[in-house]
Amino acid sequence: MFGYVEPDKPELKIREFDVFRGYYCSLCKTIGKRYGQIPRLSLSYDLTFLYILLDATSAFPLGGRRERCIAHPLKKRFRVFSNIFAEYASDMNVILTYYSLKDKWDDEKSLLGGTGSLALKMAFNKARKLHPEKCSAIEGYLKDLRTLEKNKCDSVDEAAEPFASLMRELFECGHIKDESTRKTLGWMGYNLGRWIYLIDAFDDLSKDIKHKSYNPILCQYDFNGEDVESFKERVRKALNFNLTYSLSEIEKAYSLLDIEKNKGILDNILYSGLIVKTDAILQGRGKNEKESI
C-alpha cells in the first residue's frame, strides 16, 4: 500500500478532520491491542479509508472518547471506539505490510524489508489464521504481479490487474452480509486499486528511469531514452483519461451504497482528495518529485 488515499485536508470541516483522525487512532490502537506494539508502525491511510468506508455502510452508532497514546503522550486525542471493521482493517493492514516488506527483502535485500518482515512474522501468522482465504487470494495476486513484472508486461491495464483484484478482495469484507453491497464495494476496491497502482507507477517514473527498473508506463509507451519531462508530457493525456475514468467508476459505485454516516469525510476523499492527488502527481508534484523543486 502506498498511502495515496488521503482526504483533501483544507476542505474538511474541523469536526470531520477530528473524526477522521479518530478512526486513524482507533485503527492504530486496534492493531496494538491485537498484535502488540511493533506492528502499529505499519498503520496506513489506505486502510483507514477502508475502515471508514466499511463502517459507514453499517448502522453501528458512532462513538468515541478522548485518550492519550504513546505517539502523542501530552495531549488527549479523540478516538473512535473500535468494532469488527476496525479489527478487519487491522488484520488486513498487518497482512499487506508483511507481504510488502517481504517483497522488498526478496527483491532488493533491503534492510528495512528484512527486519520488518521478521518483526511482523508472528503478527502475520496470527492474521493469516483468522483470514486464510483472503490471505491465499492476496498471495496469489502478488505472485501474478511479480510474474507480470518479470515478463516486463507492456500494458498498463494488464499490469494493474493483479493489484486491482487484490484491492477488490480486501474491500469485499466478509462482515458485510448484503450481497449487492459487497459487490459494489468490490468494484470500488478494484478501481481504487487500479488508480493506486497507476498513480504510483507515474510517480515513480524518474526513479525507475534512473535505476532502469520495470515500470509499465515506460513499457507501454516505448520509452526511448528521451528526457523525463518530455516523456511525461507525451503520456500525460492517456494516463489522465485512465486515472480519471477509474475515479469516475469509483464514484458510480459509491453513489450506489447506502451511506449511514461519515458522508462528509467519504465525499471529501472520493470527490476531492483523489482527484487533487491525481492532478498533483500528473503535474509532477508527487512525493517523489519534492527534491527536484
Contact residues: another protein, CB under 8 A: 11, 155-158, 161, 164, 180, 183-184, 187, 190-191, 194, 220, 238, 241-242, 244-249, 251-253, 255-256, 267-268, 271-272, 275-276
Is 78 or 271 the residue whose CB approaches another protein more closely?
A: 271
- DSSP strand E in the chain: where? 64-67, 77-80
Is 60 or 241 the residue whose CB approaches another protein more closely?
A: 241
Is 127 or 156 the residue whose CB approaches another protein more closely?
A: 156
Is 183 or 232 the residue whose CB approaches another protein more closely?
A: 183
Is 69 or 276 the residue whose CB approaches another protein more closely?
A: 276
Report how far residue 61's alpha carbon sits from residue 260's, in angstroms, rounded to the nearest whole number: 9
- Which of 177, 182, 176, 194 lies closest to 242, judged by CA? 194
Min dist CB 161 to another protein, Å, is 8
Min dist CB 218 to another protein, Å, is 15
- Which of 19, 43, 31 lies closest to 86, judged by CA? 31
Min dist CB 183 to another protein, Å, is 7
Min dist CB 21 to another protein, Å, is 20
Min dist CB 181 to another protein, Å, is 9
Q: CA 1: distance to chain centroid?
A: 4
Min dist CB 101 to another protein, Å, is 28
Query: DSSP string covering 30-87, please?
Result: HHHHHH-SGGGGG--HHHHHHHHHHHHTS-PPP-EEEE--SSS-SS-EEEEPP-HHHH
Is 85 or 187 the residue whose CB approaches another protein more closely?
A: 187
Share of the chain residues as helix, strand and coil, in percent rounded to the nearest 5: 75, 5, 25
| Sign of the dihedral through C-alpha 35, 40, 45, 46 | negative
Is 249 or 289 the residue whose CB approaches another protein more closely?
A: 249
Return phi, psi of residue 165, to 5°: -65, -35
Per this entry, what is the length of the chain? 293
The residues near 178 (Cβ < 8 Å, ≥ 6 apart) are: none
Question: Which grid cell sits at 31?
Answer: 492493531
Min dist CB 283 to another protein, Å, is 14
Question: Which grid cell sits at 250?
Answer: 469509483
